[in-house]
Amino acid sequence: MVWLADGIWLQSLLAISVFTLLALTAGAALGFVKHYYGTKDTNSVIDQINNQLPQSQCGQCGYPGCRPYAEAIAHGEPINKCPPGGEAVIAVLAKLLNRPVVTLNEQFGQHEPKRLAVIREEDCIGCGRCLPVCPVDAILGASQYLHTVIADECTGCDLCLKECPVDCIDMVEATPNTGANRYTTTKLIATSLRPSIKPATIATPVDTGLPIKAASFDFQGGMALSDCTKLSTSTPIKTLPLPPMLKLTITPGSRLLIAAGEVVLKGQPLTTTDYDRSYPQHAPTSGTVLAITKTSEDAHQLQLQPDRHDRPFMQAANVQATDDTLATIWSAGIVGLGGGGFPTANKLATSNIDTLILNCVECDPYISCDEMLIKERPQAVLSGLAILAQTVQPKRIMIAITNTKKHLAEALQAAFASLSSTAYLLKKTNISCLLVPDRFPAGSERQLVQMATGIKISGDKRPIDFGVLTQNVGTAHAIHRAINCNEPLISRIVTLTGQALAYPGNYDVLVGTPFNFLLEQAGLQRDRLDHLLLGGAMNGARLVDLTQPLLPTSHCLIAAVAGELTDNATPSPCIRCGFCANVCPSSLLPQQLHWYAQSKEWSKLSKLKLQDCIECGLCNQVCPSRLPLVQSYRIAKQNMQSIAEDKQRSSRAKTRFQQQQKRLASAQQEKNARRLARLQKLPQNH
């Protein structure tokens, strides 16, 4: 019997060890998978639920705030009691808790778009009753003083409405321009107080001319496109006659300096602004301001009827007589003319610029305005560059040009040799002409910086963070006009092209000229026109409303005939060929982005770095299934942005609510302590 017992023991031992080993292996495998692929979130269920709630702290669910409701949900309370969250929050909670999706319980209120409380200050009596009910302390004020609501912090909970004895609180719909990001407080002019310009310290007195060399780096992906600029480069730049009416779009955040009916002169400032994304605007010609109409919540349109005399505005008052170049560039309203539209002075105000790149690379197959500018006005471009160099004091300057357009480099070289002594700084800086490969999108800022310096920029970084500043040729030209000719930004060079135009070419056009006048002058053949593209063949947008005016950033308008740019093929399913990934200049996986954009999986999209997409449109070009890839990314990006903003708001509301709770608790504690002290005093008096 001993051997049997032995056998049993041995077998049990074997079984136990086998299963232990199995358990260990499986456990290790699970742990590995969890570690590498699992969610990192270790919050408790309540915290997870609370994070999904909108944090309006409105109490419509019957609980005093979002966190108590989250606790109740964790203990079995229905998930459909949150009207501000609506169906979206119910869906998320259902997924999180593995419960069925139910409709919102209307008993607790209806889901409405996000609103903000606004106090009508003329009616407010300063009673102070709304202050304590606000769950996030978003109302400012004191007894007998006017109250106001901090728009950024208001969660739209409605709780203050019923407290107000005079009904002076209104709920207004939240728009992108109310509340957050309305005015960034950085004052632009303040940034012009940068260290005064030092004399050039680099001692290289030998004038080496302008050497032409090839770029030493390259970017991934990209694709050579056929060159269609021939259409517009065969004729010199033409100046258009004055249009019968100019329409100026007044940007949000600007203050008008004139009123309707006033007579203005050419170059007279029309607006001024403190907002750092806006810029001062000027009258393109002399004439009468007929009307100023509101086109949207923040934007206005100003109609100017030219008097055809082109009377100039007095210089002394126009551009402030100051030595500060930066302030002059700012007040001349110079913006990035390559398409960015960001005020140039802002970009120049950053110090520690190592490399200045003048972007002369036009990689779009249709746009030629920069090419024509260099061909016809190389001196002006270089003199603009000299002003830029003087302002930012870079260690080296690179003029980037496509290697198929070497004649432009030679034109610049010739102009450089005859440059006047005023541009002495240019000649003393390490300057060169950089030839970059003719591959779309070589002219895009990130790709250009990579080719010039080898620095690959991704995420929310900008070239400035690496000491690199890029400027467009058109901007350099505009800066030259502003500083040397005292002319603010009132005109730009536009490429009007496409096979539906009788006279395609580059035109010097006043800002504010309506597109229909522009197209008429270029000989638009309406019967041949298929569609209009504003801003280039690759990433332009369809232009439908021809009464719209030209903006400083509109560099190209294509009037395409049928079959010139599209062949109206219907999209078919993705066959995952991967052509898109091969051409993507940002090294993304466009087809996976497309899958996730369709299924709205935002977290996966941000993991795949959708935010790095520069929307160049190459993936659309090579897709054999003709899927509208870029369009789906644009929609996804917009959705992700608004979701991120909501998240930010709700997390801010949460912290403020917690702070208020803490404050109330400590106030209560103090009160209790005082009462206790009083009570302790009482018997002694008896």
Partner 1 sequence: MATLNKQHHIRRPAALMQLVMCACLPGMLALIWFFGWGHLINLVWAGLLALGFEALALKLRQGCIKASLSDGSALVTALLLALALPPFCPWWATMLAVGFAILIGKQLFGGLGYNPFNPAMLGYVLLLVSFPLIMTTWATPKGINTSSIPGFFDTLQIIFLPSQFSLDALTTPTILDVFKFREGLSVAEIWDTQPGFGHWGGFGWEWVNAAFLIGGLWLIYRGAFSWHAPVGMLGTIAFCALIFYDGGSSESHGSPLFHLFSGGTMLGAFYIVTDPVSGATSRQGRLLFGIGAGLLIFLIRAFGGYPDAIAFAVLLMNMAAPLIDLGFQATPAPQTIQSTVDEAQDE
> CB-based burial of residue 79 (10 Å sphere; 0-12 exposed, 13-18 middle, 19+ buried)?
buried
Q: Between the CA of residue 417 and those of 161, 214, 384, 435, what are the distances in Å?
A: 73, 20, 16, 19
Between 186 and 208, name the residue whose CB sits nearer to partner 1. 208
Among 573, 678, 682, 686, binds partner 1 (CB under 8 A): 573
Among 591, 613, 630, 649, binds partner 1 (CB under 8 A): 591
Residue 457 interacting with partner 1 (CB under 8 A): yes
Choose the stretch contacting partner 1; rule: CB under 8 A; options: 70-78, 148-156, 514-522, 569-577.
Answer: 569-577
> CB-based burial of residue 524 (10 Å sphere; 0-12 exposed, 13-18 middle, 19+ buried)?
buried
CB under 8 A, 24+ apart: contacts of 180-186: 180/151, 180/152, 180/645, 180/648, 180/649, 182/151, 182/253, 183/253, 183/274, 183/275, 184/275, 184/276, 184/277, 186/276
Give the position of tokens 């505005």. 313
What track of x and - describes contact with partner 1 for positions 549 through 568 (by CB under 8 A)? Answer: ---------------xxxx-
Residue 448 interacting with partner 1 (CB under 8 A): no
Residue 572 interacting with partner 1 (CB under 8 A): yes
Residue 455 interacting with partner 1 (CB under 8 A): yes
- Residues of span 495-554 touching partner 1 by CB under 8 A: 537-538
Q: How near is the Cβ of 388 to partner 1 at its closest, in Å?
A: 18
Q: How near is the Cβ of 341 to partner 1 at its closest, in Å?
A: 25
Residue 466 interacting with partner 1 (CB under 8 A): yes
Between 3 and 36, name the residue whose CB sits nearer to partner 1. 36
Token readout for 322 is 């100051």
Q: How near is the Cβ of 74 to partner 1 at its closest, in Å?
A: 31
Dihedral sign from CA coordinates of 458, 464, 465, 466: positive
Among 582, 611, 639, 661, binds partner 1 (CB under 8 A): 582
User: What is the C-alpha to C-alpha distance for residues 345 and 336, in angstroms, rounded to an integer?
Assistant: 10
Between 144 and 201, name the residue whose CB sits nearer to partner 1. 201
Between 64 and 578, name the residue whose CB sits nearer to partner 1. 578
CB 290 within 8 A of CB 304: yes
User: What is the C-alpha to C-alpha distance for residues 559 and 243, in angstroms, rounded to an integer?
Assistant: 20
Q: Are strands 287-294 and 300-306 parallel, antiparallel or unpaired?
A: antiparallel
Q: Considering CB under 8 A, how many residues would be counted as binding partner 1?
A: 56
Among 39, 570, 680, 684, binds partner 1 (CB under 8 A): 570
Choose the stretch contacting partner 1; rule: CB under 8 A; options: 85-93, 109-117, 258-266, 572-580.
Answer: 572-580
Q: Spell out a b/e string for 164-197, using b for 16 or more CB atoms within 10 Å of the CB, else e.
A: beeebbebeebeeebbeeeeeeeebeebbeeeee
User: What is the C-alpha to C-alpha distance for residues 504 and 523, in angstroms, rounded to an integer?
Assistant: 8
Residue 148 in 3-state DSSP?
Answer: strand
Q: How near is the Cβ of 192 to partner 1 at its closest, in Å?
A: 26
Q: How far is CA 388 from the centre of its chain?
A: 24
Among 396, 528, 637, 652, binds partner 1 (CB under 8 A): 396
Q: How near is the Cβ of 358 to partner 1 at its closest, in Å?
A: 16
User: What is the C-alpha to C-alpha distance for residues 211 and 540, in angstroms, rounded to an integer?
Assistant: 34
Residue 428 interacting with partner 1 (CB under 8 A): no
Give the position of tokens 């499986």. 26
Residues 603/604/605/608 CA torsion (nearest 10 deg)? 130
Between 409 and 605, name the residue whose CB sits nearer to partner 1. 605
What track of x and - describes contact with partner 1 for positions 596 through 635 (by CB under 8 A)? Answer: -----------xxx--x-------xxx-xxx---------
Q: Are strands 238-239 and 505-510 parallel, antiparallel or unpaired?
A: parallel
> CB-based burial of residue 110 (10 Å sphere; 0-12 exposed, 13-18 middle, 19+ buried)?
exposed
Residue 462 interacting with partner 1 (CB under 8 A): no
Cis amide prior to 590 (ω within 30 degrees)? no
Residue 171 in 3-state DSSP?
Answer: strand
Q: How near is the Cβ of 458 to partner 1 at its closest, in Å?
A: 4
Choose the stretch contacting partner 1; rule: CB under 8 A; options: 62-70, 169-177, 371-379, 584-592.
Answer: 584-592
CA gyration radius for the chain?
32
Choose the stretch contacting partner 1; rule: CB under 8 A; options: 38-46, 380-388, 539-547, 581-589.
Answer: 581-589
Among 476, 543, 574, 605, binds partner 1 (CB under 8 A): 574
Between 457 and 511, name the residue whose CB sits nearer to partner 1. 457
Residue 484 interacting with partner 1 (CB under 8 A): no
Among 99, 238, 428, 456, binds partner 1 (CB under 8 A): 456
Q: How near is the Cβ of 225 to partner 1 at its closest, in Å?
A: 5
User: What is the C-alpha to C-alpha distance for residues 157 and 69, in angstroms, rounded to an integer?
Assistant: 15
Between 461 and 663, name the residue whose CB sits nearer to partner 1. 461
Give the position of tokens 């260990």. 24
What track of x and - describes contact with partner 1 for positions 190 through 229 (by CB under 8 A)? Answer: ---------------------------------xxxx-x-
Between 122 and 567, name the residue whose CB sits nearer to partner 1. 567
What track of x and - describes contact with partner 1 for positions 273 through 302 (by CB under 8 A)? Answer: ------------------------------
Residue 309 interacting with partner 1 (CB under 8 A): no
Q: Between the CA of residue 296 and those of 165, 178, 293, 313, what are the distances in Å?
A: 34, 13, 9, 30
Q: For residue 373, what is the enclosing H or E element?
A: helix 369-376
Q: Which among 38, 81, 79 is positioned nearest to 58, based on CA atoms?
A: 81
Q: How near is the Cβ of 569 to partner 1 at its closest, in Å?
A: 7
Q: Summarize as ranges the residues that interact with partner 1 (CB under 8 A).
A: 37, 223-226, 228, 354-355, 365, 395-396, 430, 453-459, 461, 466-467, 537-538, 564-567, 569-570, 572-579, 581-583, 587-589, 591-592, 607-609, 612, 620-622, 624-626
